[in-house]
Structure 1
């Protein structure tokens, strides 16, 4: 999803450049802001008749692109030449070319080398750079639609007009066909881009800085209305009750399957659970469960929830509860919308208030602080807002950790997160951490406290060295015992590392390969977006690093450490892959399923109302067309979801965001 978001940062940079209405040599300039702080910039200018250049550069915790794009376009906005050079978000080299000549389109990039005959107008989309010519071509089209290369179709429509503070008009457009969500973009009265706006990541044209809040609010209201309408179409309610008949029930507490059960649901609660002799009440909606498995709703314990299509993806994939691991304060509004039934989404059960130190690698979410006292005030603010956990990040000074952890514990909250730079996991645990986030942070423990883990080095060092870790060494055994003694949990997020360490531009990770054919056409080309580029000759070393991560998680499971499953990646589908990776590591499937049900509810202190299929608890259950205890991959086959007693058809939810149902 991050690649799709990036695609729109410069998507609409101008409609009229190709018509020559921007004087040659003049430049439109944009600031890229994270949480109001400048993180980079972009520009676009016309360099000659129907010839253009654009540039984008920003720093996101050591990651971020530096891309120079040059292109030519016809008066109708059809790009005829494109060249992209530089590095992508993950610092991989970019060299991409495209040419349309005599009805033949040819392009080459790190993943593709193709040529096709073009018989009607079509727009090529780069795999790395943005497409400032796309809105122009769409608006010039009589039907406001255009084919995309190599596949797909996009359309545009006007949503709203707005008067800027300078008295000029602005126009909000919606573009579809590029991802799960419609993409909204603002153009001025000359059809030039005003930027891209959100609550934390903004690209702002220099002359509309004072309008950002208004433009974002209008845009947000449009998207809220769009998903509110979908909600009214996609949620089914039982007027009486629901009865699952003759279904196998997964007992998540004991880790076993109970065959041929009847489960009754009424008024959003589990009314009863019994065997085949349990009477089916008259008038209930009866769902036959023979050959299927009923599980408690799944939990994703590592999200940065953004609403919209994420809500539909989560529910369609059986995820009814999430833990948010760091966000803007707009999360509180999202939570309220879900709880009120205004939009479809998982229950945000647990919120982590993210805190980072000021500096060049500050995380673009949450609260940044420049001294310890500011850190303590941030903790108190999150506590006053009802957060349950504090997440510390990489730029926190090591000497702040203990007093910040002490204050967090004094208020009754947990401490989790990244290990601050120039600190080890052992030191962080001894200073008060309750949980370590991400498996790479566990490996970094063995490379000392001199490593600057704010940068990309927190990934590349693990890629280079993880496979050589001696799991039988006393150092490793002492590390595991520390977790045992202090009851520390882990949130490994193996799925995101599989993408980093095992995929390449021409070959996505297994986790994405399993779902690629189900995704929108334009998203299939970006399935390897998060891949690292190993140094020459170290490709196998990086792949073995992923195997070492799985082995480490198995070692922690064997030691009785509490493991919770989370993604920090594509909503829904990557949690399924996370569970598969645990099973591949040798963890029994019953225990794997517990990480996303019982264990999660236990850590979040919600076992009294969630986490098991038990009489009196909240009616969050999912029906699997298969048996994930015998075959963990059956967890992908979600055929029905019940959340708060409401019924959701996963097929309809996925169709609403252009995703194919499982076969």
Structure 2
């Protein structure tokens, strides 16, 4: 009989033992070894953790020492030297409307806007490319907004998840007449909200010159129909809207005269009431900075690969808007400082702030603007850990999605961003994206550029 070599016996024994050990582990879809894992609940970093992903959700978070002994997967990501955090939110976008020409209406600038689904889909892909997995549309063409939302839900398009919105409800259409619904009575306000409910939107939006009684009618009707309401308001004051239980206030309160003196008792009371009632605010700081700080800021920070793959019509639009902005807006350090002071004061008062692009008003691609927003929030004096919370956990709360998104926790949807460098050290490191995971699946970023 031919003898089995001594070394082969031990090799065979080792294989049998490893096979036995292997069979005792639970198979899952994905395992991520996270050297630094950002906890968006606390703002702290957990070191040397295993994120276990299965069926699109986070099944478990374990220590290095125990996780690999309990689970195995054919798909593994080694992020031991990287920074792992929740994916990003854009809580104020306009992905369905694009600027054609700029004219004058009632002595004010008026933007003629149009819809183009292919341009919308390109922008949605670029938002995903830059780490955004959830967004709220806040005014455009609602039929297209609902259509794109539904297409994303069934996987027909590569896109962040979308919350759809009505046209802008206003007493007199001025700046963007094509995407404004004119409201001249409480009955019209209620009827339009009903129309939007039938269409299937998630939000209705109030614009600045809607008078208080019309705002109240819209908010009451929306809440009766289980819709949310966001407001870019002026004729209806922030304090009035807070008492009407509006669901969100958007932009900084620039132009609202009672809110312009940030040291006033009135501002203190408004921020106190917002914090107490949990009414969130997306300040769109990057958009404001582009008006009063540096008109070329957005263009100068845009990723080359994103700009290069942009449709020519978008490049022409960006150029037109950039030239228009340089002509209309002049540097105003005092006003730029107002916006910085507002976000810092609101943050210290406990107002729930989130990150938002306001899209083409920033004259650049939408994903880029979210990273600019985080940079400017940090520059305004907000700690980087809190800025990351605004872009993740706060975004989920703003959009009423906190049960499933915004943090990396057991049971939540696996929307995860892996960065090469820590944004806690330098907030600009949010751009060092190594991998994006949405619904537990790794996104092929290169394909998004095609």
Which interval holds the TM-score relative to the shorter structure?
0.7 to 0.9
| Alignment-derived partner of residue 438 in structure 1 | 251
| Alignment-derived partner of residue 106 in structure 2 | none
| Alignment-derived partner of residue 531 in structure 1 | 325
Determine the C-alpha separation between the residues in 1 that align with 2:155 and 2:221: 35
| Alignment-derived partner of residue 496 in structure 1 | 287
After the TM superposition, which residues 111-510 of structure 1 pair with which residues of structure 2 at under 5 Å, given as runs? 241-277=29-65, 278-279=67-68, 281-306=71-96, 307-328=120-141, 329-348=143-162, 350-357=163-170, 359-361=172-174, 363-365=177-179, 367-420=181-234, 422-439=235-252, 442-446=253-257, 470-504=261-295, 508-509=296-297
Determine the C-alpha separation between the residues in 1 that align with 2:47 and 2:220: 47
Which sections of structure 2, spanning at least 5 residues, go unmatched?
1-26, 97-119, 360-364
| Alignment-derived partner of residue 643 in structure 1 | 438
Determine the C-alpha separation between the residues in 2 that align with 1:430 and 1:444: 20
Q: Deviations over 1:519-560 (max 9, x none)?
A: 23974982835625468xxx45x2331222011100000000
| Alignment-derived partner of residue 224 in structure 1 | none
Instruction: Report the secondary structure of 2:268's partner residue.
Output: helix
Determine the C-alpha separation between the residues in 2 that align with 1:334 and 1:609: 21
**Structure in which a larger fraction of residues adopt helix:** 2
Q: Deviations over 1:603-660 (max 9, x none)?
A: 3222221111112221211111111122111111111111112221334433x2xxxx
Q: Contact 1:499/1:528 (CA < 8 Å) preserved in 2?
A: no
Determine the C-alpha separation between the residues in 1 that align with 2:408 and 2:303: 33
Q: Contact 1:618/1:644 (CA < 8 Å) preserved in 2?
A: yes
Determine the C-alpha separation between the residues in 2 that align with 1:285 and 1:562: 37
| Alignment-derived partner of residue 464 in structure 1 | none
Aligned counterpart for 1:606 among listed residues 375, 391, 401: 401
Q: Contact 2:170/2:206 (CA < 8 Å) preserved in 1?
A: no
> Structure 1 length as normaliser, TM-score?
0.54
**Structure in which a larger fraction of residues adopt strand:** 1
Structure ID, larger Rg:
1
Which sections of structure 1, spanning at least 5 residues, go unmatched?
1-238, 449-468, 657-663
Determine the C-alpha separation between the residues in 2 that align with 1:282 and 1:516: 37
Shift of 1:401: 1.6
| Alignment-derived partner of residue 183 in structure 1 | none
Instruction: Give the 3 Å change call, closer, same or farther, for CA 398–528 of structure 1 in structure 2.
Output: same
Q: Contact 2:171/2:211 (CA < 8 Å) preserved in 1?
A: no
Q: Deviations over 1:563-603 (max 9, x none)?
A: 11111123211101101111111111111111111112123
Determine the C-alpha separation between the residues in 2 that align with 1:282 and 1:560: 42
Q: Deviations over 1:466-503 (max 9, x none)?
A: xxx54333343233234234433211111111222223
Determine the C-alpha separation between the residues in 1 that align with 2:366 and 2:443: 17
Q: Contact 1:295/1:623 (CA < 8 Å) preserved in 2?
A: yes
**Number of paired residues?**
385
Q: Contact 1:415/1:432 (CA < 8 Å) preserved in 2?
A: no
Determine the C-alpha separation between the residues in 2 that align with 1:489 and 1:331: 22
Determine the C-alpha separation between the residues in 2 that align with 1:644 and 1:583: 29
Aligned counterpart for 1:520 among listed residues 296, 304, 308: 308
Determine the C-alpha separation between the residues in 1 that align with 2:303 and 2:159: 23
The answer on 1:566 being equivalent to 2:336 is no
Determine the C-alpha separation between the residues in 2 that align with 1:245 and 1:578: 29
> Structure 2 length as normaliser, TM-score?
0.78
Shift of 1:290: 2.1
Instruction: Give the 3 Å change call, closer, same or farther, for CA 286–530 of structure 1 in structure 2.
Output: farther
| Alignment-derived partner of residue 419 in structure 2 | 624
User: Whose relative contact order is higher, 1 or 2, with alpha carbons under 8 Å and at least 6 apart?
Assistant: 2
Instruction: Give the 3 Å change call, closer, same or farther, for CA 529–313 of structure 1 in structure 2.
Output: farther
Q: Contact 2:28/2:73 (CA < 8 Å) preserved in 1?
A: yes
Aligned CA RMSD, in angstroms, stands at 2.6
Shift of 1:334: 1.0
| Alignment-derived partner of residue 151 in structure 1 | none
Instruction: Report the secondary structure of 1:250's partner residue.
Output: strand
Determine the C-alpha separation between the residues in 1 that align with 2:242 and 2:183: 22
Determine the C-alpha separation between the residues in 2 that align with 1:480 and 1:438: 14
Determine the C-alpha separation between the residues in 2 that align with 1:651 and 1:547: 39
Shift of 1:396: 2.6
Instruction: Report the secondary structure of 1:433's partner residue.
Output: coil
Instruction: Give the 3 Å change call, closer, same or farther, for CA 289–475 of structure 1 in structure 2.
Output: same
Instruction: Give the 3 Å change call, closer, same or farther, for CA 288–430 of structure 1 in structure 2.
Output: same
389-398 vs 637-646, greater mean Cα deviation:
389-398
Determine the C-alpha separation between the residues in 2 that align with 1:548 and 1:530: 23
